[in-house]
Amino acid sequence: MNTYEEKRSLLLEMIAFSTVDGQLHKREYEFLAIVANELNISKTEFNDLFHLELPHIVIKSEFERFQQFYRLALLMHIDGVLHQKEEVSIQQIVIKMGLNPIVTNRILKMMKMTKSPIIDAEVLLEIFKEQHN
């Protein structure tokens, strides 16, 4: 992530996704706060993002788009409830990002089938590499 505007856009996309089911769960908010902290976005500005509409900035790097997809997938699972609206929304986001839907569906299935939705980084990297072969 290169610029501050890109970081804000990434977080804004996550905030919008977190409320696609009509509510913001406490665990979703906490996860978003952690991401904001990692992106060096202050708590005040983070909270202000819930009331702003910023222009969407396209993530240029395919690897960064893949990372963003995984963050959204984690966010989808963080409240322990998978909503149909979240599943539809993430599929639309994947298409907009230009990611391979077969690969992303594989990851989503893996996340559903395990007790914890967290997938080892090495496994994710291998799956990401597979889409190029």
Residue 26: the pLDDT is 93
Mean pLDDT of the chain: 87
Residue 27: the pLDDT is 92
pLDDT surpasses 80 at 133: no
Tokens for 59, please give them.
């993530």
Residue 54: the pLDDT is 58
Greater model confidence, 132 or 105: 105
* Across 108-120, average pLDDT: 88
Report the range of poorest mean pLDDT among 90-94, 115-119, 129-133. Answer: 129-133
Residue 44: the pLDDT is 94
- What Rg value do the Cα atoms of the chain yield, rounded? 14
The whole-model pTM stands at 0.77
- Cβ atoms within 10 Å of 95's Cβ, excluding its own: 11
CB 51 within 8 A of CB 81: no
| pLDDT tens digits for range 13-72 | 899 889 888 889 999 999 999 999 999 999 999 999 988 775 667 778 888 888 899 999
